[in-house]
Amino acid sequence: MLIRPWSPSLCMSMNDSTAQLRAQLAAAQETIKALSKRMHQLERGDSQLPLQHQLKFYRKRIEEKTTALQTVQSWFELIVQNAMDAIVRVDQNGRIQSWNPMAERMFGYRSNDVMGRLIEDILIPEQLRKAHLSNFRRHLSRGRGALMNKRIEGLALCKDGSKMPVEFIGSVVKQGDTRAFVMTLRDISERIAAEQALRDSHANLEAQVQARTRELHHLAAIIEATINSVVIADLQGHVYYVNPAGREMLSLAQDMGLDALSFEDFHSPEFRQCLADKVLPQTLQQGVFETECEFMDQHGNGIPVTCIYMFLSDEQGQADRLAVIARDMRREIALQQQVEHVDRLESLGILAGGIAHDFNNILTAIIGNAGLAMRKVDAGLPAQKYLQGIEQASMQAAKLCKQMLAYSGKGSREIQPVDLSGLITDMRSLLEVSVDKRAVLKFDLCETLPVIDADITQIQQIIMNLVINGSEAMNKHSGTIAVSTGLLVVDEQYLQSALHTQEVSVGPFVYLTVSDTGCGMDAGIMKKIFDPFFTTKFTGRGLGMSAVLGIVHGHHGIVKIDSVLGQGTTFNMAFPISASHAPSADSQAYTAACNPVFGMVLVVDDEQSIREVAAVVLEEMGYMVALAIDGKDGVEVFRKHHKAIVGVILDMTMPRMDGKECYHELCKIDPDVRVILSSGYGEEDAVDRFQSMGLAGFIQKPYHIAHFQRVVSECFGSG
């Protein structure tokens, strides 16, 4: 037999049917009594037969109703006994009248243990009894209430003292002239546990989503900060994302819209066919494809790059985005070419040194034998003249060997402290008579220059070679040759663009610059300028510039050349300051002559050597100095001392906080702060990034000390 689960509505319906049947039974019994009385009255008459039939009919109806009532009561008892919920009936005094088997299983009491006992003593926790009694009595007295026939969740007390979460419905029923209270209770422990598990699962899922969101934010920040170009496009080739490094490489403004940019636009025309025929099909097949190609910026300039192409998939695993990660190879190619050039020069230097050494031995024998022969031959004989020619030619060859040894950096040197400006001043007359009359010599020599450790003869050879080369570059036309000296702060960027065959540390150097307004050189000549015996003249005259390079490298210096065809050439040489000699007397006198302190200058730079040099120069100028290792540190130092700070020298590229962000923070503290931007980028490019934010000035690295002092004085004042 299939037993329907018990429900309060069914219980109420059964109660109503039973009450109706009982009412009908009572009415039938009253009718029987009336009919019986009537039959006794009519027993003497002739009309008894119809009344007897009517009485039998009513008796039969009463029996049928009684049977139906008993059936309903049986079904009612069967449903209550097999209900999946606990069903408890209490009288109007709150005493338990019925207790079904499910109530026994749920709460641990047998039916006989609870019959006649108060409901609050059995099921109601102690802390809830007062409120329960108040509600219970009010509902029984009225027969209705706000909580009647409504699902309510609460706690029920079990026999073992534990509290069970239950959902119950209470109903008031009439039993004649009295009222009873029927409660249906359901154990909801499993449901509450499931709901808690669901909440825990939701909280765990939310934590995972937050963690994943943080990861995505971190990945986005990494992509934004990476030095490689990242471009993402849809399958139709429409570009919708380019990271800052990619915008810079492709000459796209950081705020420029990408609506009109397609994936092919930044590939060179020569590579586009390969992109369609090979790269994209293989990327789709393999998922990732790596190759070398050429990009093209907005100005049409080619950019050699190493690329990784990849397709990005949607939720169904289908490719719906195309991404390319590109590494700009221009700098690496330039560095590789420079390394190869330096390696080649070093190899040639080793070869030249070995040849010069052995050739000197041979020349020694030739010159010696020629001298001995001249002693044996009378002065008037023709052989004497020939022997002198041999000796003179051998001496010329010996000079060439000396140049070869200088080029290799192994020539004999007499190292001593040298004031480069003083040395050039002493050579001034000699230099003026060595150049073409149409060339004008100009000198800009620093009078407070520290000394360097050098061989005077070799330094003189460098100066003479460069000045004479500058004069010959005029091609007998009017022009200017400028010779200048000073202090130069060398950083990593400067080292990467200069020639040096050994490890050189960043920091202050003494520089020598020789520039001319002659014919200049193209890229092809620039690559060969330091090759031994290379010349652009009709006839060569020895090692020339290769000897200059060897001498500079022999003095642990660096060389940098800038030349524009048709406009002129500038040779920049930098020598390390002597570590064993104090600054010159002129430099000391300059320091002593400085005015009193003009205020404090904050130097914000992540290069320690640059901070130290700037501090020394600023102190010599009469400023107090505060130093910061990056933008974040600079903001903290400025916040503490901004009332005493008259200006800030701010590097543009730094870790943690760059110059632009640092400048914003400084302006929040003091809107009138005066800032000199210092950068290895060109002034136009660097200042454009600040978008007219009111910078006081700009200094491009590497800078001469004199220029640094001039900019500081102009921007921060001198008293």
pLDDT at 52: 64
Which tokens in the block code for residue 339? 């390394």
Q: Which CATH architecture has domain 594-716?
A: 3-Layer(aba) Sandwich (3.40)
CA atoms lying within 13 Å on the CB side of residue 170: 25
pLDDT score at 135: 67
Residue 296 sits at φ, ψ, to 5 deg, of -140, 125
Give yes or no on whether 8-186 and 226-328 have one common fold: yes
Q: Exposed e or buried b for every residue in 476-512, given b needs 16+ CB within 10 A?
A: eeebebbbbbbbbbbbeebbeebbbbeebebbbbbbb
3-class state of residue 435 by DSSP: coil
What are the distances in angstroms from CA 618 to CA 172, 199, 425, 488, 634?
97, 65, 28, 15, 17
Question: In whole angstroms, what is the distance from residue 90 CA to residue 137 CA?
Answer: 12
DSSP 126: G
Class of domain 8-186: alpha beta
- Tell me what pLDDT residue 44 has: 52
| Cα–Cα distance, 304 to 268 (Å, whole number) | 10
pLDDT at 540: 38
- Number of residues assigned to the chain: 719
Question: Which of the 8 DSSP states describes residue 583?
Answer: P
Domain with residues 415-576, CATH architecture: 2-Layer Sandwich (3.30)
What is the predicted pLDDT for the residue at 684? Answer: 62
- The fold of the 335-408 domain, in CATH, is Helix Hairpins (1.10.287)
Note the pLDDT of residue 21: 59
Q: Which backbone phi and psi does 642 adopt, to 5 degrees?
A: -65, -25
- The residues spanned by each domain of the chain are 8-186, 226-328, 335-408, 415-576, 594-716
CA distance 454 to 553: 11
Adjacent-strand bridge partners of 481: 441, 516
- Asked if 617 and 705 touch (Cβ cutoff 8 Å), the reply is yes
Query: pTM of the prediction?
Result: 0.38
Task: Report residue 640 CA to chain centroid gap.
Answer: 29
In whole angstroms, give the CA distance from residue 531 to residue 457: 22
Query: What is the distance in angstroms between the CA of the first residue and the CA of the last residue of the chain?
Result: 110
Contact criterion met (CB below 8 Å) for 533 and 352: no
What is the DSSP code (8-state) at residue 511? E
- What averages of pLDDT result for each successive group of 10 residues across the chain (719 residues)? 40 53 66 67 54 68 70 65 82 85 88 87 81 65 60 85 86 71 85 88 88 80 80 82 84 76 79 81 82 82 86 77 84 70 58 62 69 74 80 71 57 75 85 83 87 84 85 85 87 74 75 90 73 51 64 84 88 84 36 51 85 83 87 89 88 84 90 85 64 76 75 79
Q: How many angstroms from the chain centroid is the CA of residue 213?
A: 15
d(CA 301, CA 268): 9
Instruction: Locate 423 and state its tokens.
Output: 């040395």
Q: Are 716 and 601 in contact (CB under 8 A)?
A: yes
Contact 469, 463 (CB under 8 A): no
Between CA 515 and CA 563 the distance in angstroms is 9
Domain covering 226-328, topology: Beta-Lactamase (3.30.450)
pLDDT at 141: 59
Q: What is the pLDDT of residue 126?
A: 81
| Amino acid 542: pLDDT | 42
Which among 535, 571, 562, 537 is positioned nearest to 463, based on CA atoms? 571
Specify the pLDDT at position 149: 67
